[in-house]
A and B are shown apart, each in its own frame.
Chain A
């Protein structure tokens, strides 16, 4: 392993940096910090002799050499001086690293811990600052593209030549190509790489890849510029290290002979995270492998277009970085590797410059110029005779498409699914999933894990089998190719044999059968033995889920959470967009009632573009309706959309977190104002909109009689009510047992609410988690609840429980539960009442 010496003017800084780096590597990497000088009054400075001692001490523990990272000025000089004093054999294993101290040391330490050699760790450290630049690019507008500038500065001098026979297995593909580009990029000299007649800039990943250099090829580097000699030395060292190729790269890269080597099945079977249960066999629909058609549009402000392009590239790279990190965290480094390639492709100045040349030369818009350039590059990859390289065409289109999407903004054509298919994509944004037709989507497969976790939740809600984070599968799946997936185990077959297809198809059939049976049970109304029909509703979080609710047998939507519309975007949705979403959800419910809850956010679930004050105690802060009342514009927009939607469908409005009579009066006044304004503007609004509130704060229970006089219904949110009544956070393991909705204290609050509702003649529903517990259904009816709303998957079970009970039994059970001593005792009562449980 390599070791690291950290040199700073300040001992404290050096030690602090060491601490940071050690934290990430858990002491695995030999490291030493030197800084400051022997002078109590003026301790800032560097001492070459101390650096020398540190290098020697680390070198003794690090068999693969020592990387020296320095802050500035004399730290560099002291480190260089120290080198002069080292014995030659030690000196040969020491490398000074030009990376910024903090970022560079951390990156180098992580690399060291993973077994990187000096060159790799140093290269990684040197580019660490780019991650930061990129991360902040959307804020600062700066780019990390230092290499383009450096290229221009390089003065043509006598070129140096370096001839190399490529010894590594992959040739200059994948990581070896990336390493070459990274190394070349560190020098100011122009570095060209020739294979036969063809030549490429060694600083352009696309050009290097398109040169298609294979194992055994002879290539010639031509290097000219101020640091040509150093560059040649670095290239020679890199080549000697097989361009950093590692065994796992070779194992990962699909090669033609893998198929012939007797393991044909493995190359076509991928495993990922089982994200949503179920089986699917069918044609693949590969998303985003194609760039959207861009109409050629002129522009007479090329500078503005170039700026837009640069910003879009920076934003796309920031996105990729985020996805890469997420994927790495959830599915590991191997899954995330592809995003490093995407980033390199977008970092390629050659690609950007070609598009810029088009913008200024042809006077066209950035989107058109970019799409042409990307398509050309992708086509060049597609024309190569190496299967692995051909697959990279999809990568170019994929990351190029990302830039395009950003350039086009909202005008990007939405996905439009036309036939039954298994959707295969690099990753799916929630918006992509929302655009899918649940009926036509047989399954979902993605290469990325992290960014799609939201997609995974949705896939589950929609009941679509899904496997996420299956790296490499895109390269093996073409549009229309029949593939199979098992959402229970996370397996994807890119080219399933007949036997596999039959097996999965059979499993799918019985899985669907079981689901169908459940929903048939769900579809029938829930009527107690003594003839009382209890409406069972679903909670949904997006219009797409309405279809699932319906299929599950819900008689309406008891809670439509609107947060979905506001999350994962950069600005609040406008009135029209909201109106469309509300109408869509209601029409999916085919005339059944839909209760829509106004935006329920706050410090506990912040939305990035809505300013939320830092609160010490967000659960007791500006949440729910409090948050909206403090932002009347945001609130009014939502109210207008809701009121207009209520004119065309059975939509009801529900306010979260109401805790005070005056608060409700204020909210209703606002609603009234918007209502009147819409009517005055000649827009269709209903005469009256059923309006209710969530009961989730003990204060609301206490004044339920007064609140009931002001609105049309109550719906109890058991999660919040329980935590507020018990004053216990269910995320806090120490007190979580207290936070039980079956606690008699909570049950008494529920009973009080029901009594207040009854006295005022308004129905009381429940939409919290407790409503979905089949075992609790008789108790809830006994307490006086009239409607229950829950996740789609719970509907059938709860309906069965309702059908098995009667009013008298329910009331008796409720009386006993209200008198019980603990949540455990209540649960005992529930079990006793249901021998099946």
Chain B
């Protein structure tokens, strides 16, 4: 089964709720190794997305994605603003005219999105960023799509990989973003951006299984 536009909108709506619920938690994570704003940033960003979505809800998926990207870009405020902004916008430019995303489209979505993060933040694996979650997830997504899985199966396969990757950010020392100023003191904490990225996957799984 492809990912329908309705599911996409549901995903976004649910993300807004998740980031509202996890606002404190994400901010606490960021307080340990950053500037204690990641939860606030994500909550604000998706709140804005909800405001901006209705007028484009009936447009094609490309347009919706671009709108999400543009909105996050200028409302999140932190580093994750341009990062997630590009993450959503790049696939949007690729998927113009689509009303649903099949497995191949979904793989292109994730690939273009992760590409956007790479282009914007120039992270490397092990830098203790959101890319540490997305890099292994992208591998699974591409592999499962190539193997012929549908979107739900792809996400099911990717989720545990993402979960493990998220936990694996704990022992890392940050080399990008605010946390990099902490040097060794960033070791032992889970990366907030990686956490919010994992929520994107988790929420999508929930939507697809609803």
Q: For the complex, give the distance between the alpha carbons of A385 and B63 in Å.
A: 69
Q: For the complex, give the distance between the alpha carbons of A39 and B85 in Å.
A: 18
Residues of B within 8 A of A164 (CB): none
Partner of B37, one of A44, A48, A78: A44
Q: Is the interface of B mostly helix, strand, loop or mixed?
A: helix
Please determine whether A45 and B76 come into contact, CB atoms closer than 8 angstroms. Answer: yes
Partner of B75, one of A47, A73, A78, A81: A47
The 9 A-B residue pairs with the shortest CB-CB distance, nearest first, are A45-B77, A74-B79, A49-B74, A37-B77, A77-B82, A81-B82, A47-B74, A42-B40, A74-B78
Please determine whether B83 and A77 come into contact, CB atoms closer than 8 angstroms. Answer: yes
Residues of A within 8 A of B75 (CB): 37-38, 47
Please determine whether B85 and A73 come into contact, CB atoms closer than 8 angstroms. Answer: no
Partner of A47, one of B35, B80, B81, B83: B81
Residues of A within 8 A of B77 (CB): 37, 39, 42, 44-47, 74
Q: A45-B78, A74-B82, A80-B82 are in contact. List 8 more A-B contacts (CB 8 A).
A: A37-B74, A38-B75, A46-B78, A47-B77, A48-B82, A73-B177, A81-B82, A81-B86
Please determine whether B37 and A42 come into contact, CB atoms closer than 8 angstroms. Answer: yes
Q: How large is the interface on A (under 10, 10 to 19, 20 to 34, 35 or more residues)?
A: 10 to 19
In the assembled complex, how far is the CB of residue B84 from the closest CB belonging to chain A, in whole angstroms? 11
Please determine whether B76 and A48 come into contact, CB atoms closer than 8 angstroms. Answer: no
In the assembled complex, how far is the CB of residue A50 from the closest CB belonging to chain B, in whole angstroms? 7
Provide the A785-805 mask, 1 if CB < 8 A to any CB of B, else 0. Answer: 000000000000000000000
In the assembled complex, how far is the CB of residue B205 from the closest CB belonging to chain A, in whole angstroms? 29
17 pairs from A and B in contact (CB 8 Å cutoff): A42-B37, A42-B44, A44-B35, A44-B77, A46-B77, A46-B78, A47-B73, A47-B74, A47-B77, A48-B73, A49-B73, A72-B178, A73-B78, A73-B178, A74-B81, A77-B79, A78-B81
User: B179: nearest residue on chain A (CB-CB)?
Assistant: A73
Q: For the complex, give the distance between the alpha carbons of A49 and B82 in Å.
A: 10
CB under 8 Å from chain B, chain A span 70-102 = 72-74, 77-78, 80-81
Please determine whether A48 and B81 come into contact, CB atoms closer than 8 angstroms. Answer: yes
Total B residues in contact with A, Cβ cutoff 8 Å:
22
In the assembled complex, how far is the CB of residue B190 from the closest CB belonging to chain A, in whole angstroms? 19
In the assembled complex, how far is the CB of residue B70 from the closest CB belonging to chain A, in whole angstroms? 8
Q: For the complex, give the distance between the alpha carbons of A310 and B76 in Å.
A: 47
Please determine whether A77 and B76 come into contact, CB atoms closer than 8 angstroms. Answer: no
CB under 8 Å from chain B, chain A span 752-800 = none
Q: For the complex, give the distance between the alpha carbons of A46 and B44 in Å.
A: 13
Q: For the complex, give the distance between the alpha carbons of A74 and B80 in Å.
A: 8
Q: Is the interface of A mostly helix, strand, loop or mixed?
A: loop
CB under 8 Å from chain A, chain B span 42-100 = 44, 73-83, 85-86
Please determine whether A81 and B85 come into contact, CB atoms closer than 8 angstroms. Answer: yes
Cβ of B121 < 8 Å from any Cβ of A?
yes
In the assembled complex, how far is the CB of residue B170 from the closest CB belonging to chain A, in whole angstroms? 22
Q: For the complex, give the distance between the alpha carbons of A72 and B85 in Å.
A: 19
Please determine whether A77 and B120 come into contact, CB atoms closer than 8 angstroms. Answer: yes
Interface set of A (CB-CB < 8 Å, partner B)? 37-39, 42, 44-50, 72-74, 77-78, 80-81
Please determine whether B82 and A78 come into contact, CB atoms closer than 8 angstroms. Answer: yes
Partner of B81, one of A42, A45, A72, A80: A45
Residues of B within 8 A of A47 (CB): 73-75, 77, 81
Cβ of B41 < 8 Å from any Cβ of A?
yes
CB under 8 Å from chain A, chain B span 129-188 = 177-178
User: B176: nearest residue on chain A (CB-CB)?
Assistant: A73
Q: For the complex, give the distance between the alpha carbons of A72 and B176 in Å.
A: 11
Interface centre among B77, B78, B85, B120 (most CB of A within 10 A): B77
Residues of A within 8 A of B83 (CB): 77
CB under 8 Å from chain A, chain B span 83-129 = 83, 85-86, 120-121
In the assembled complex, how far is the CB of residue B46 from the closest CB belonging to chain A, in whole angstroms? 13
Residues of A within 8 A of B78 (CB): 45-46, 73-74
Residues of A within 8 A of B81 (CB): 45-48, 74, 77-78
Interface centre among B41, B74, B121, B177 (most CB of A within 10 A): B74
Please determine whether A48 and B85 come into contact, CB atoms closer than 8 angstroms. Answer: yes
In the assembled complex, how far is the CB of residue B78 from the closest CB belonging to chain A, in whole angstroms? 5
User: B76: nearest residue on chain A (CB-CB)?
Assistant: A45
Residues of B within 8 A of A38 (CB): 75
Known: A74-B81, A78-B81, A80-B82. A45 touches B41 (CB 8 A): yes
User: A78: nearest residue on chain B (CB-CB)?
Assistant: B82
Known: A45-B81, A74-B79, A74-B82. A39 touches B44 (CB 8 A): yes
Q: For the complex, give the distance between the alpha carbons of A350 and B31 in Å.
A: 44
In the assembled complex, how far is the CB of residue A75 from the closest CB belonging to chain B, in whole angstroms? 9
In the assembled complex, how far is the CB of residue B127 from the closest CB belonging to chain A, in whole angstroms? 14
In the assembled complex, how far is the CB of residue A152 from the closest CB belonging to chain B, in whole angstroms? 20
Q: For the complex, give the distance between the alpha carbons of A39 and B82 in Å.
A: 17
Residues of B within 8 A of A49 (CB): 73-74
Residues of B within 8 A of A50 (CB): 74
In the assembled complex, how far is the CB of residue A51 from the closest CB belonging to chain B, in whole angstroms? 10
User: B27: nearest residue on chain A (CB-CB)?
Assistant: A42
User: A47: nearest residue on chain B (CB-CB)?
Assistant: B74
Q: For the complex, give the distance between the alpha carbons of A74 and B178 in Å.
A: 9
Residues of B within 8 A of A45 (CB): 37, 41, 76-78, 81
Please determine whether B79 and A80 come into contact, CB atoms closer than 8 angstroms. Answer: no
